Amino acid sequence: MGDSPVRINNPDGSVETPSAGEQKKMEAAYKQMKRKMAISEMGKSIKHKVMVLSGKGGVGKSTVATGLALALAQKGLKVGLLDIDITGPNVPKMMGLEGKRLHVESGRIHPAQGHLGVKVISMAFLLEDEDTPVVWRGPIKLGAIQQFIGDVEWGDLDYLIIDFPPGTSDEPLTVAQNLPDIDGMVIVTTPQDVALLDSRKSITFANSLKVSVIGIIENMSGYNLSGKTSPGAKLELSAPGGRTIHLTADESGDWNATLDIFKSGGGEKTALEFDIPFLGKLPFDPGFVRGCDDGVHRIVSEPEGASSAAFANVVNNIQSIVEQTNDDDGLEII
């Protein structure tokens, strides 16, 4: 290869072209060095890096990671979303990027632009066809993660949100070992006891990775019901668990109630127990499921809705924690 970046410079000043085998090794080392330089550059060009984890699947972690990215973008911030979950292509779906493939130019990977300008890189972009599950052997998967960290042209970002497969596995470890200056992880849980047990595991896992825990988010926390009747009317609602909720409509006849489908307050309890911040509750909202089907996340389809407000609250709490050490912009510290 005439344009090979590697040569052997002998001490006597002569220059040799290495053998094919040597050249291959040296090019691999050169590539690795370039990647290391790009990664250390990322430390500066990406202000905040937040990992999103959960003990088990189905708690809505990808929905939350995507929602956090969008809620930050809504505030005018530059945001990237790195989706390392090979098992479910939910992130590209919610970002309206289903079927996208990676765009590579001059050896650099370029992110796709999702809703609100969020830059997205997803493992799903590597899949041949989403119905064919790809069995990724450990080293290949971990190599892909290293590439996603070192070879992606993210540009300047305020936040990089990283979504993982459920559970405590190799992927977060690889990211924690390769990506410098991670601000910390947020743990997504539902209010169920079993989910809480899993989030305890995630906290222990975070400690073993030496990544700090920013806090806990309780997802699918309660289902908001509202309606209209005559002013001051009394209502009885049958709630889960055989409970009855008694309500009185206000002077305009409006009423609303929160049904705790999976109990409530468990995330807060775990946070208290482990002395870590509770970042807030996100309601159970069927609109999230629709958003996954039609390619528009709830935050984009209903920016003024209750779920968007809940995400805005969680994002404010995250910002006040991760940005307090960097600048003093008057945000309240919780």
Ligand X SMILES: Nc1ncnc2c1ncn2[C@@H]1O[C@H](COP(=O)(O)OP(=O)(O)O)[C@@H](O)[C@H]1O
**295 dihedral zone (left: phi>0; alpha: psi -120 to 50; beta):** left
Number of residues that bind ligand X (CB under 6 A): 20
**Using CA of residue 84, residue 86, residue 91, residue 95, what is the dihedral sign?**
positive
282 binds, among ligand X, Mg ion, none (CB under 5 to 8 A by kind): ligand X
Residues of this chain, 69-98, that bind ligand X according to CB under 6 A: 88, 90
Sequence letter at residue 330: G
Answer with the entry of ligand X, Mg ion, none that 55 interacts with (C-beta below 5 to 8 A by kind): none
Please identify which residue in 220, 296, 314, 321 interacts with ligand X, judged by CB under 6 A: 220
Measured CA angle at 64 (ends 38, 219), to 5 deg: 145
Instruction: Report 294-313 residues binding Mg ion (CB under 5 A).
Output: none
- For ligand X, the nearest residue by Cβ is 60
Comparing CA positions, the residue from 319, 216, 229, 333 lying closest to residue 276 is: 216
CA distance to 187, 195, 262, per residue, from 218 (Å):
9, 10, 11
Please give the residues from 33 up to 62 whose contact with ligand X meets the rule CB under 6 A.
54, 57-62
Question: Nearer Cβ to ligand X, position 183 or 218?
Answer: 218
Q: Which of ligand X, Mg ion, none lies near 190, with the C-beta cut-off 5 to 8 A by kind?
A: none
Q: What's the CA gap between 267 and 321, in Å, rounded?
A: 18
Residues 90-149 that bind ligand X (CB under 6 A): 90
Using alpha carbons only, what angle is made at residue 52 by residues 313 and 219, rounded to the nearest 5 degrees? 50
Binding ligand X (rule: CB under 6 A), the pick from 86, 124, 214, 292 is 292
Closer CB to ligand X, residue 249 or residue 262?
262
Residue 44 is encoded by which pair of tokens?
């500066």
Question: Is residue 62 a contact point for Mg ion (CB under 5 A)?
Answer: yes
Touching Mg ion, residues 67-96 (CB under 5 A):
85, 88
Q: Answer for the pair 78, 118: CB distance below 8 angstroms, yes or no.
A: no
**Footprint of ligand X (CB under 6 A):** 54, 57-63, 88, 90, 166, 219-220, 282, 284-286, 288-289, 292
